[in-house]
Amino acid sequence: MAIETLNPATGELIQSFDEWSTEKVAAVLDQVHEAFGHWKGTSFEERSRLMRRAAAVLREGAGDYARLMAIEMGKPVAEGRAEVEKCALVCEYYADHAAGFLSDEPIESDASRSYVAFRPLGTILAVMPWNFPFWQVFRFAAPTLMAGNTGILKHASNVPQCALAIEDVFIKAGFPEHVFRSLLIGSSKVDAVIEHETVMAVTLTGSDMAGRKVAAKAGQMLKKAVLELGGSDPFIVLADADLEQAATVGTKSRCINSGQSCIAAKRFIVVDEVYDEFLELFREKFSSLIVGDPLDDRTQIGPQSRQDLMDELHAQVVASIEKGARLVTGGAPMDRQGSYYPPSILADLSPGMPAYHEELFGPVASVIRVRGASEALEVANASCFGLGGSVWTRDQQKGEALAAQIESGAVFVNGMVKSDPRLPFGGVKTSGFGRELSHYGIKEFVNIQTVWIR
């Protein structure tokens, strides 16, 4: 099997790698396990020094890494540079805070002295997606390595050069050999990696289908898993919202990364009183977005990452229109080379339409009319997903009260849902379980050990 880079803007084959053999994978896992034996004994000061150096390496190569993302999965280079900077920030965040997060916690008990200690587990497997090919990895790698674990990456098969570049960041930063490795393998070999005796836990960001498979295998092997899966985030617009701001942020939230984000706003739930006005503002802003070459700094919407994913997105749009959805703008693949889909809006959605229930992973907004806040909440929670959500209102107290009833891992009032190293990130329902980032994230993959002394 070949692992290939196909430029989604041109369809051109850029690079091809042979998939690693089972024997090579096993040999690398043994090397990473051996490296853990030394790495777990390093001081937080030494780990912090190296992690800060990794941040510097990222910033030094930001232009090259952004170009690599553009070529491999179509991310506009301006967004790519911002993604690299965010990776540098998460490295610095854990370099600054890991020692405090994992310091011993004294506990009063019947012992002379008792406390909780946080010990590294060993080698952690990360199965990561293509849509944020650097950020998804670093938000795992920074806390994992700072906790004293070693990391192995099975990246999406369409971004192999990003996978190797990330491994190279840690090498350039001076991390010991084999503390972090990228495996060039397809999905069929993931089960065997989870089964390997040196792998202690697994984290996956991806579809709910992939999450179910990885969770089942991890459960069979009695190994911990953290899953960040799909989302169909509600974006509730109440009658007293600042509509200009809501439409502006809603456009960015729906179309960031060319619409290919788990926490993109996807279902725009708008109360009847302002529905038409919001929809017109929304249409204007969608229509003004610049679609083009991801290597051009002016581009806001690049190609979809893969042709098959664009075809799937279009099928959802067509099926929704056939069931009565109103097409406001866009709605068909663009007549140009590459996997380009225009910013699109479907309005007047109702139950039974794919765009009402399913996650649309591309720049397509689903707009739903409701009578008021109570119905908006019902619609928001009538989803199998629960990753993020937002509420738009000038009444902060009302917004916070409504936010408390939204079934999601994160909810923002008058703001775009985003990940932040300082805040925990993850979902409920079929959006997964466990948390990344913050002090919660670094404690997912440690042995929380009770120590009792007399």
Q: Are 344 and 329 in contact (CB under 8 A)?
A: yes
Helix H or strand E segment including 199: strand 199-205
d(CA 369, CA 390): 16
Instruction: Please choose, from the candidates 388, 392, 345, 343, the residue with its C-alpha nearest in 3D space to the C-alpha of residue 366.
Output: 345
Instruction: Please choose, from the candidates 44, 101, 41, 118, the residue with its C-alpha nearest in 3D space to the C-alpha of residue 450.
Output: 118
167-169-172-173 Cα dihedral, nearest 10 degrees: -110
Token pair, residue 353, equals 């339409």
**What pairing do the DSSP bridges indicate for beta strands 150-154 and 180-182?**
parallel
d(CA 282, CA 279): 5
In the annotation, is 108 catalytic? no
Kindly name the residue from 255, 262, 359, 407 that is annotated as catalytic. 262
Helix H or strand E segment including 393: none
Phi, psi of 450, rounded to the nearest 5 degrees: -85, 130
Token pair, residue 375, equals 């119905």
In the annotation, is 195 catalytic? no
Kindly name the residue from 228, 407, 436, 444 that is annotated as catalytic. 228
Show which residues are catalytic. 228, 262
